[in-house]
Amino acid sequence: MEGAVPQSAWLLALQVLYPLRPPCYFHPMPYEVTASRKRPQSFEQLAGQDFVAATLEKSLQTGRIAHAYLFSGPRGCGKTSTARILAKALNCESGPTPHPCGACDSCKAIAAGSSFDVIEIDGASNTSVDNVRQIKDEVLFPPNSSKYKIYIIDEVHMLSTSAFNALLKTIEEPPPYVVFMFATTEQHKVPATIKSRCQQFTFRLVNAETIVGLLGQAAKEMGVKAEEEALLWIARESGGSVRDAYTLFDQVVSFADGEISAALIRDKLGLVGQDRMNALFGRFANGDTPGALEDLDTILSSGVSSEQFIVDTVEYCRALLLVKNGITKESLLGAPLSAFDLSISEALDVEKIERLLSVFLASYRTLKDSIDPRYELDLAVAKASHISDYISPGELSRAVRTLRQALGAGISPSPGFGPRQTSARTAPSGKAPPSGAAPSTFQDRPSTSTAKAAAMAYPQTPQASQNFQTPVPTQEAPHAPPSQVELKKYLVGEIRKSNILLATTLDKSTDWKLGGSSVSLVATSAMEYDLLKRFVGIVAELIAKRYGVSLRVDIESPQASSHASAPSLEFPPAKPSASNAEGNKDKEAIGLVERLFKGSVVGYVAPGGAPAVHPKTLSPPAVPDDEDRPDPMDLTD
């Protein structure tokens, strides 16, 4: 308060020095803010409240004037303006009329706020019962020079309960010349007893197009050039309140120097801007984490605040969602559709966009409690750039449902996601004979003296067999090169001893081709393909054991048998034969569980309770082919 004393003294001194000049001498250029300059003066000028205007006009035409009106709605939508227009309409010298002249003494006095018969009371600062008693006393005196004595009480919900009670009787049976007009932003705080005695009008937020029109008109009147995009931004920022829009407009005009552009607003007010948002979300869609973090750094370095960054990203996500839902209206998107990079909305599905939205909304909530807001932003951006790995709960539940159906009906599902099925050409590894130790073709296979010479010529190097490190039985000499049928029969027979499932699958496989250094076969379904691929080592081992050669075993998936390297996400339904339909169902279910939950088979238990066979005792499971795929659950908070 100490600072106020010299200032008052200073003003006092000036007033003494210049007694004829009022203190407003210090504002030689009277400036009226746009909001009050553009205040509507008639029902026609009342923007965005067509229903209210039409109803009031009609009631004035028919002479049905209520004792009390309650105008409720968001701030800056025209409640007080409507009350003043209605007051003019009632008290105009040619009234009551829906079209007050605006030229008579009464109209002029009301517009200037100096009419003796229109009393404006701020409910927020006159809350007590005494204030209301004063009104009750005054009401007894008829209007000075007009037809009606009008009380406009703003923010009426601020009145105390006793004040409301004191007012009740007056509102219910006022003298015929008194009209009450209440305005409130919080209708629910007005007692029902008051509401029921009033004609109620609910005001709405004004849409962006209407506000842009009003702002454009204001700019024209002021001789200011204004870009449509800039006005749209102001309109959206104001959230549907005309007064807020005018206030922000004045602020922008003050730094715009005669020309309002979107770029200028972006620079001066520290906004991210559409181009930078397109670039950032492009990086999210492409999983470019370093690029996204660099973009964030650039944006923050340019003076955009942490909060503003999040607000803008959230706005962008919202716009993407709207675009996804086919909405192209500029006022809803916040920018023309052409300003959006549509490849982003194509790359991200709705669930991923919703996920992005929730990531940024969550980081906004934690921003205030954070050690450093920058950490929160880095974290949010890093999370967002992994969005392509995100599996939504909906997607997961769909997959589980598919699994259930597959288990129940034995139908091979077509999962929409999961580890990608890659090349079927898996060479035996682990316990397969090392290539340096065992020959890799039948041609260069070492032979014993008992080996029959067949179509393939064997070099006669008997010593080589001693170098084998694989469990080649010493008492059993390597067999002659088999035919495809023989090889299949032998392998199925051997594997059946330890793993019936694998043996059955192998038996069902088709298109066996025995080449010089490899054997290839085609699995009959995706599930069987997975299983065979996993145990390809066992097959190679058995071949080495019996024939003394290390062959590459190529398993081909059914649809990729023409070119085995083509990855595929779609699995054709299996065609289980009558005899092994049950087995197929089990295998398919196991394969699906493996893909969905990224698991691996650790053993089998026969339905009858037979002892489990641990496949690891035979061969290590194949290495999952998607090691580098980040865990989608990492994205969850």
The binding site for Zn ion (CB under 5 A) comprises 92, 100-101, 104, 107
List phi, psi (to 5°) of 513.
-130, 120
β-bridge pairing 510-514 and 518-522: antiparallel
CB of 363 within 8 A of CB of 376? yes
Retrieve residue 429's tokens: 């590894």
The secondary structure element, H or E, covering residue 225 is strand 225-226
Angstrom distance (rounded) from CA 374 to CA 508: 59
Task: List alpha helices for 29-78, DSSP H.
Answer: 34-37, 50-62
Least distance to Zn ion from the beta carbon of 217, Å? 24
Q: Which is nearer to Zn ion, 107 or 319 (by Cβ)?
A: 107
Angstrom distance (rounded) from CA 568 to CA 560: 8
Integer-rounded Cα Rg, in Å, for the chain is: 42
Least distance to Zn ion from the beta carbon of 153, Å? 23
Least distance to Zn ion from the beta carbon of 103, Å? 6
Least distance to Zn ion from the beta carbon of 129, Å? 36
Q: Which is nearer to Zn ion, 110 or 333 (by Cβ)?
A: 110
Least distance to Zn ion from the beta carbon of 40, Å? 16
Q: Which is nearer to Zn ion, 68 or 92 (by Cβ)?
A: 92
Q: Which is nearer to Zn ion, 92 or 551 (by Cβ)?
A: 92
Q: Which is nearer to Zn ion, 76 or 100 (by Cβ)?
A: 100
Give the SS3 label for residue 522.
Answer: strand
Least distance to Zn ion from the beta carbon of 91, Å? 8
State which amino acid sits at residue 589: A
CB of 614 within 8 A of CB of 603? yes
Least distance to Zn ion from the beta carbon of 89, Å? 9
Q: Which residue has the tokens 């008579």?
A: 104
Q: What is the dihedral of CA 286, 289, 292, 297, to 10 degrees?
A: -170
Give CA separation, 467 vs 104, 436, 439, 553, in Å.
119, 9, 11, 22
Give CA separation, 39 vs 47, 100, 633, in Å.
10, 15, 55
Q: Which is nearer to Zn ion, 117 or 229 (by Cβ)?
A: 117
Angstrom distance (rounded) from CA 292 to CA 526: 38
Least distance to Zn ion from the beta carbon of 90, Å? 10
Least distance to Zn ion from the beta carbon of 36, Å? 20
Least distance to Zn ion from the beta carbon of 59, Å? 18
Q: Which residue has the tokens 């700019």?
A: 219
CB of 484 within 8 A of CB of 551? no
Q: Which is nearer to Zn ion, 100 or 428 (by Cβ)?
A: 100
Q: Which residue has the tokens 């009390």?
A: 68
Q: Which is nearer to Zn ion, 46 or 592 (by Cβ)?
A: 46
Angstrom distance (rounded) from CA 274 to CA 117: 53
Q: Which is nearer to Zn ion, 104 or 500 (by Cβ)?
A: 104
Q: Which is nearer to Zn ion, 146 or 385 (by Cβ)?
A: 146
Angstrom distance (rounded) from CA 531 to CA 517: 23
Query: What DSSP string runs through 348-381?
Result: S-HHHHHHHHHHHHHHHHHHTT-S-HHHHHHHHH
Q: Which is nearer to Zn ion, 92 or 495 (by Cβ)?
A: 92
List phi, psi (to 5°) of 179.
-130, 130
Least distance to Zn ion from the beta carbon of 164, Å? 33
